[in-house]
């Protein structure tokens, strides 16, 4: 089982999808723990990626529709989480 730990800002480090049937343990900053499915974490990752793309003027596939500029890789490394993920 993989254990993801929440940082002080409320994020966990996640830079890829996990298998949907995998069970993950998320340890929150207050010390509580929650078991979450890979499917649910993938949903949170996809939502964070969509927010990142929207904030950087990218379309759904990650192509920039604004003037050419150098930006970070078309991905997110941190996903916001809070207790009650399985609800």
Whole-number Å distance between alpha carbons of 31 and 20: 25
Residue 66 domain flag: yes
Structure confidence by residue, pLDDT tens digits, 24-69: 999 999 999 999 999 999 999 999 988 887 777 776 666 666 655 5
- Between 12 and 60, whose confidence is greater? 12
> Is 87 within a domain?
no
Model confidence over 17-36: pLDDT tens digits? 999 999 999 999 999 999 99
pLDDT attached to residue 52: 83
The reply to whether 22 falls in a domain is: yes
pLDDT of residue 60: 67
CA distances from 52 to 7, 18, 45 (A): 19, 19, 10
Residue 86 is assigned to a structural domain of this protein: no
CA separation (Å) from 9 to 28, 29, 35, 58, 79?
A: 11, 9, 20, 25, 10
Give the domain range for residue 41: 2-80
Q: What global pTM score does this model have?
A: 0.79
Q: Tell whether 85 is covered by a domain.
A: no
The number of domains in the chain is 1
The pLDDT value given to residue 56: 73
**Residue 26 belongs to some domain of the structure:** yes
């Amino acid at each position: 089982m993989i254990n993801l730990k929440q940082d002080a800002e409320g994020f966990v480090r996640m830079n890829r999808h996990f298998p949907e049937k995998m069970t993950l343990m998320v340890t929150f900053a207050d010390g509580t723990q929650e078991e979450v499915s890979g499917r649910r974490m993938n949903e949170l990752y996809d939502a964070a990626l969509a927010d990142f793309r929207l904030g950087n003027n990218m379309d759904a596939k990650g192509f920039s529709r604004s003037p050419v500029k150098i930006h970070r890789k078309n991905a997110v490394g941190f996903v916001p989480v809070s207790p009650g993920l399985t609800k």
